[in-house]
Structure 1
């Protein structure tokens, strides 16, 4: 069960990732759903995101970025759930240190589509390190890429 405090922290985390990170705004990443166990993000295709102009394929960097954002947000939510009993000051200090340690992306198919959806879930949430698995699908449900991210969570 999610507490109101966890919901408040997730709103703050979402605001940071979606509204305060200029690169994420440049790409056009949108939040669809965010819970204590995962996230769903949306990325509408845009000409500025094309990596292959002949075929109009989504750039691999955009794919990696949205998967990393999904993994980072999910890792932060897991940390909030695990560390909920800390004071707001301590929790803020821990969450502010969230960062990517390692990111592996497996590109399964060309990024063809009008809209892409990234989801993430936790594989393991430890005291300092969290591992997440992320997937990217297009609007038809075609699996474009998946990733595994390791995140420092304070």
Structure 2
């Protein structure tokens, strides 16, 4: 089935909420295509972020949209984990020279509150930077400032793979 046919079929019985979700997904794909986000996942999550070079911290925010919520209408724990992993991993890569990268080797998450509100923000910092491993801490907050999750993660330092 062609993409236009799938969209038309979806829209035939779509509720207003269904239409909002489709629009959100399409905007996310356009974010990647227009290089607003570097990855499809970042685009789909509508992530915004910034690196604080002075404090060596990284901050990533995503809207708490219907697409990331579970059946209880709170942010899915897997999305919260993805936000933590993405923010801490991006921070690890930011502090490395350009010929190196970092990949997650271990992550531990404590969920301490429901992911509700308009947005979720992860603040990531470095606990340890060695020659082979970087250890980070991440905290996800809702827009009222309450903690949703706390995490620590280890990232293995590897040579950066370049595309041919």
TM-score bucket of the superposed structures, by smaller chain: 0.7 to 0.9
For the Cα contact (< 8 Å) 1:35–1:77, is it kept in 2?
A: no
SS in 2 for 1:64: helix
For the Cα contact (< 8 Å) 1:72–1:100, is it kept in 2?
A: yes
Matched, 1:109 2:113: yes
Matched, 1:93 2:99: yes
Q: CA deviation at 1:35?
A: 2.4
Q: Aligned match of 1:62 in 59, 79, 90?
A: 79
For the Cα contact (< 8 Å) 1:72–1:99, is it kept in 2?
A: yes
Matched, 1:143 2:147: yes
Q: Aligned match of 2:136 in 92, 111, 132?
A: 132
How many Å separate the matches in 2 of 1:69 and 1:92? 18
| Structure 1: gaps (5+ residues) | 1-17, 80-90
**Partner deviation per Cα, 1:51-98 (whole Å, 9 max, x = no partner):** 1x2x3100011100111111111111222xxxxxxxxxxx43313xx2
Aligned pairs, number: 121
For the Cα contact (< 8 Å) 2:37–2:47, is it kept in 1?
A: no
State the partner residue of 1:40. 59
Q: CA deviation at 1:19?
A: 1.9
How many Å separate the matches in 2 of 1:151 and 1:76? 9
Q: CA deviation at 1:23?
A: 1.6
The normalised TM-score by structure 2 is: 0.69
How many Å separate the matches in 1 of 2:65 and 2:43? 13
Higher relative contact order (CA 8 A, sep 6+): 1
Q: If you compute each CA radius of gyration, which structure gives the higher value, 1 or 2? A: 2
**Partner deviation per Cα, 1:7-31 (whole Å, 9 max, x = no partner):** xxxxxxxxxxx72221222122111
SS in 2 for 1:63: helix
- CA RMSD, 1 decimal: 1.4
State the partner residue of 2:69. 50
State the partner residue of 1:71. 88
